[in-house]
Structure 1
């Protein structure tokens, strides 16, 4: 039997050393006994808790002299446990894996819309469905790790599945003839969801297993900060470069390169697997502790059976106590603790419903804003770079400045920080709703705002300059002219009721026919008239047929004065050079608006280039084309509504607030769920934490599908209000929670040992009265909890 196993059987060790001291067989001097005791203590990692257990047995039969106990405090405080070297491999692996995930996720919604042809609503639903699956599979990963393979093998095998999915998505982005791109993409995303979801609950818990608690409680807190730092460092770099690879690199004849933008993160995922394997010899691998999900399920089922049979004859204090005869007191106690923690998780999905929209709704919002900043074009998906960049700065800022300030105000417990995170998330969405309202005003600018006002625009599709007369307009200039391929407008015409007005236009220069007709105006409406050949064509002008959520996109209306027999007339945008991007224009349809990408576009008739023009983001344009194949074509781009004047930098306030909410909520919650969970259920509780993210994304899918609001600003406001209500519910649930201390896990481990010793030598034990503690809310020591647990507060100076 080794010394280490003897340390577990403390009663046997005491008995043996006692008789050896009496018989002078081996350790005849007090100093030798002290050395033996020091060696024994070092074999159990120098745990101060177990040293306290030694010190509780202090009677004349104890073989250790008194000064041995005095040396303990001096010796062992000078020999801290070294920081685990294996953590470096785990953090490096997490960096590469997060680089892949966030790099792919950053450009996903634009890939779904620009390449696969989905609209924004469908792309949002697909994006959040994928994210929902990513956070459902952690539950399965936890079951595999705890009940079958262990954390190491689970991470390794599912990482291989993850790598395969990343390569499939990258391969699917290559434009190959006959390849079902949508199906390949779905398969790749499903494999990624299985892989990244399956390893999520295991990686952070596996990293926590490398530490010896409670002696390394502070090091564990630093590990979680480093772990989150690696996550956001990978996210920062990938969200910076993948949009550049997407937009600035041209491949396969396209003006972008999604295959490369997906491929580089996929290579990083393969590297992450190799790094993880390289650290195998240093890992402290815990064997599978058993499938605690089924254990908890059995506990609940047996409790129900016992309650049905014995609720009248043997009433219990708690419902779960009825399962003690079948599953034991320990599992009942841990199930109670798990239930009290999961009760706090109920409001969490709403936070994730808001947080994950940074990759969908907020990205689409950025596409409708002006990205020119100091001469540089910021791409919409690059705005996601701000979040990890701020995280890297916020982590030390919060640890060393914000949290100490909050402690002075009495805010130091984890649940208090989580509440502040929920409040900040609501504020971030109120800001996004206000920004969306500001952008939607541009859409309403194309429509009369006063009840008895109408808008009138007259477009000249001829190559002659026209002078027109009519008694409808409010403008006083005389005469009134419309330039060739130009536009005349009056946006303040008083029209109390629908009325027709006479109109006549004669050419001033050129041999163009006179045009006569009637203008029909209605209050609150915007009308356009197109002079073509010898007639006027009326159509609904402005943005009446565009949703307010699309107000920041670039639209063009084609007004063609060309022979119907000549064609096709093709409009292509140079920034999206895919086969699906060219638009076929109909010269008989004047009112249709075509959504195009900002940048340069060109128009071709019969395969010949007629001209090119530049359209800016958020603008509404009318493209006037006149002529024939024999005489040649002329064109002009008229700006009906100016481009978006809302800078993309206006997204920064909401991103800053949401990032602060993430630090307060996500970092604290990750540490809270690991530290408060029973030792045998840490991976399961981590999976439940991630499962709340899946439910949050499901909320987004439901709201997006059923369209509870008519505008995007209304939807943002709805989410913000839900978050406020959710925060109040969380406050009510958390009002009576009492924190578990890390030492209690180790005291529970010693219960059996101390019990054996007390039974074998009852006269050698002196009962020491200590304040009662218990897990969760079982007679907690007054003041004990987060105030004395530095892992929660990150109060390194106090430690």
Structure 2
């Protein structure tokens, strides 16, 4: 039932087929492509397509759910029609096209661009992005159940040790691809590219994974003549489904009392299916029943790439080097590499020495609990972030602050409010909230007293009222602060205001920013987050001065007053419009640590438990069921996040933690009623019965033959 190997007899050291080298390299490139693209996906939705956090999260989890639904389709195609090799090749082509379409859909380099950085033709970009993601989901999901199994097919029956080593190499290739891509693609995204405008380089961040997927396809096809290709032999998954369907149909057909009850409802399939298949299906369904609570774990786990990445955008990413919000996802694969051997070689043996019966289902329960605690930790971090987030004006409100650019103090009073505000030289007040209407402002300095009418104030906007005492006058300017949210992705915003008496030409690192008349302000300029410093230069008709800026941190906005010049040194004053993010990204490490520990004892143990409890020919059914729990988990995120209507993100984290804790208790109760079985022992009994039946049949045939001769 197998095709010839062609040149498949070529082998590496220790008897390994040379063909596995192509398969391992293919898997590394494919995982690099998938995880690299997925790492930057939610930020692409938010900062390129300009979707809000909830929509970006919803589409992200819809995509991930689709990636874990399509493996069932891939398994059916491979086992029933095309075989593993042709299924991998065909769907890899679809996969590569999808990555290319997504990359093309993120190109926004038209000269007529929008000021907020959003794409010029939004419907086209969204359509291309969605088409690309659907093709990627079909490709990555479709080949998922085929590649590892195809690698296992390359070994002979007596090469069990080599096959086991291959699966270890295969797992390392997955983690290496994930780890390296999660470092590289966020860095590519963070670079600036474009001909007409400088913007985040999503085409490059998606383009490199597209190239790696093309390489994966080429490498896999290159080894074609060396592969051992097993022909499709029918899908056991379909047989199980047909057996279950017939049992249900037959049970309802014979509901009358004349038909005696049967020990198990699946026994109603015995009229059409043999006892072995029915017994194997019982074992599988017993495990699948335990899978029912599992999606809740994945609902929390996969939020690393959505909610947790969005959380990191409001945090300080200074680790000596600037770490991008989407790069924090590397903490998970790093901790996996560390924790798996530690748990296997240290924690489990220690528990065993303490004579604690730490069964697989107990391990999975602990994993759920740890994931729940990870979201409690995320909620605590979010509370600290919210404390440092500025309050912006709501509907019907406007915010105003007073900025004294002069060298003498003033007293200001808003009418009809009676409170007085003292503003020292070179200082500014905090933003004050008023109803969006006309306001009268009285400014007093010494014997000077002037009234100013502030007209045309817009709701949900911020304003700066800048002024200075000049001789016997108070000169002023009302400036719209066109920023009503924290800067995106930890970047900073700076603008300049001229408090000098002359018009100044301002440059930042030799790039012209603005030419400002007295008491006028420039637009905000975006600079990267981090601790870089910039040369600020001011040029007037009589002097050229410069100064090295302060370090701005992450997520801040500043107004910089250009004051005067002293011996070539520019005197400036910093006014903090939005404070930099003060909660460090390192505070996310505890929640990543708890979630990764949960993954190690939940995911690894769950797969081992499933395989140990399933018949040898039905491992693929449980693999499909396991992947289905991941898909359902991502669908749960959509339902809970959409139905909860919670305004605070920390409250949503607590909600998910509480839901998983409840599910954890339910699973623990289910686990206490589970009876472990040995599928090999049960199958051996059927083998003995079949041998005995065959022997009896042979004996009867011999007797019949002897009788016929007499």
TM superposition score normalised by structure 1? 0.66
Determine if the alignment matches structure 1 residue 170 to structure 2 residue 108: no
Contact persistence 1:440–1:551 (CA under 8 A) = no
What is the correspondence of 1:152-301 to structure 2 with a 5 Å cutoff?
152-175=85-108, 177=110, 180-209=124-153, 223-248=166-191, 250-252=193-195, 254-280=198-224, 283-301=227-245
SS of the residue corresponding to residue 647 of structure 2 reads coil
Determine if the alignment matches structure 1 residue 404 to structure 2 residue 404: no
| Equivalent residues, number | 617
Indicate how the Cα distance of structure 1 residues 732 and 288 shifts in structure 2: closer, same or farther if over 3 A, else same: farther
Q: Which of 75, 80, 97 does residue 142 from structure 1 map onto?
A: 75
Contact persistence 2:388–2:582 (CA under 8 A) = no
Indicate how the Cα distance of structure 1 residues 467 and 560 shifts in structure 2: closer, same or farther if over 3 A, else same: same
Indicate how the Cα distance of structure 1 residues 279 and 699 shifts in structure 2: closer, same or farther if over 3 A, else same: same
Determine if the alignment matches structure 1 residue 660 to structure 2 residue 597: yes
Contact persistence 1:367–1:552 (CA under 8 A) = yes
Contact persistence 1:468–1:503 (CA under 8 A) = no
| 1:322 Cα deviation after fit | 0.9
- In structure 2, list runs of 5 or more residues that go unmatched: 1-13, 111-119, 394-398, 433-438, 455-460, 469-473, 500-505, 514-520, 537-545, 564-570, 701-710
- Which residue of structure 2 aligns with residue 373 of structure 1? 319
| 1:635 Cα deviation after fit | 9.6
Distance in 2 of aligned mates of 1:408 and 1:279: 48
Distance in 1 of aligned mates of 2:191 and 2:462: 40
| 1:208 Cα deviation after fit | 4.6
- Which residue of structure 2 aligns with residue 733 of structure 1? 670
Determine if the alignment matches structure 1 residue 514 to structure 2 residue 450: yes
- Which residue of structure 1 aligns with residue 277 of structure 2? 331
Name which of structure 1's ranges 733-742 and 229-238 shifts more when overlaid on structure 2. 733-742
Question: Highest CA radius of gyration, 1 or 2?
Answer: 1
Name which of structure 1's ranges 666-675 and 326-335 shifts more when overlaid on structure 2. 666-675
Distance in 2 of aligned mates of 1:602 and 1:148: 66
Contact persistence 2:492–2:553 (CA under 8 A) = no
Determine if the alignment matches structure 1 residue 98 to structure 2 residue 31: yes
What is the correspondence of 1:296-695 to structure 2 with a 5 Å cutoff?
296-311=240-255, 312=257, 313-374=259-320, 376-409=321-354, 410-443=356-389, 458-460=401-403, 465-468=408-411, 480-483=422-425, 486-488=427-429, 504-507=442-445, 514-515=450-451, 530=465, 598=529, 616-619=553-556, 621=558, 638-640=575-577, 642-695=579-632
- Which residue of structure 2 aligns with residue 18 of structure 1? none
SS of the residue corresponding to residue 369 of structure 1 reads coil
Name which of structure 1's ranges 271-280 and 684-693 shifts more when overlaid on structure 2. 271-280
| 1:278 Cα deviation after fit | 4.3
- In structure 1, list runs of 5 or more residues that go unmatched: 1-80, 448-455, 492-500, 519-525, 563-570, 575-581, 583-589, 604-610, 627-633, 763-799
| 1:190 Cα deviation after fit | 1.0
Distance in 1 of aligned mates of 2:248 and 2:582: 63
Indicate how the Cα distance of structure 1 residues 188 and 95 shifts in structure 2: closer, same or farther if over 3 A, else same: same
Contact persistence 1:482–1:488 (CA under 8 A) = no
Indicate how the Cα distance of structure 1 residues 418 and 220 shifts in structure 2: closer, same or farther if over 3 A, else same: farther
Contact persistence 1:92–1:275 (CA under 8 A) = yes
Contact persistence 2:298–2:634 (CA under 8 A) = yes
Indicate how the Cα distance of structure 1 residues 354 and 220 shifts in structure 2: closer, same or farther if over 3 A, else same: farther
Contact persistence 1:83–1:219 (CA under 8 A) = yes
| 1:171 Cα deviation after fit | 2.6
- Which residue of structure 2 aligns with residue 4 of structure 1? none
SS of the residue corresponding to residue 459 of structure 1 reads strand
| 1:601 Cα deviation after fit | 11
| 1:298 Cα deviation after fit | 2.7
Indicate how the Cα distance of structure 1 residues 481 and 394 shifts in structure 2: closer, same or farther if over 3 A, else same: closer
Determine if the alignment matches structure 1 residue 756 to structure 2 residue 691: no
Distance in 2 of aligned mates of 1:670 and 1:88: 25
- Which residue of structure 2 aligns with residue 19 of structure 1? none
Name which of structure 1's ranges 236-245 and 638-647 shifts more when overlaid on structure 2. 638-647
| 1:145 Cα deviation after fit | 1.9
Indicate how the Cα distance of structure 1 residues 556 and 234 shifts in structure 2: closer, same or farther if over 3 A, else same: closer
Determine if the alignment matches structure 1 residue 698 to structure 2 residue 626: no
| 1:688 Cα deviation after fit | 2.0
Distance in 2 of aligned mates of 1:406 and 1:749: 38
| 1:560 Cα deviation after fit | 9.0
| 1:336 Cα deviation after fit | 1.4
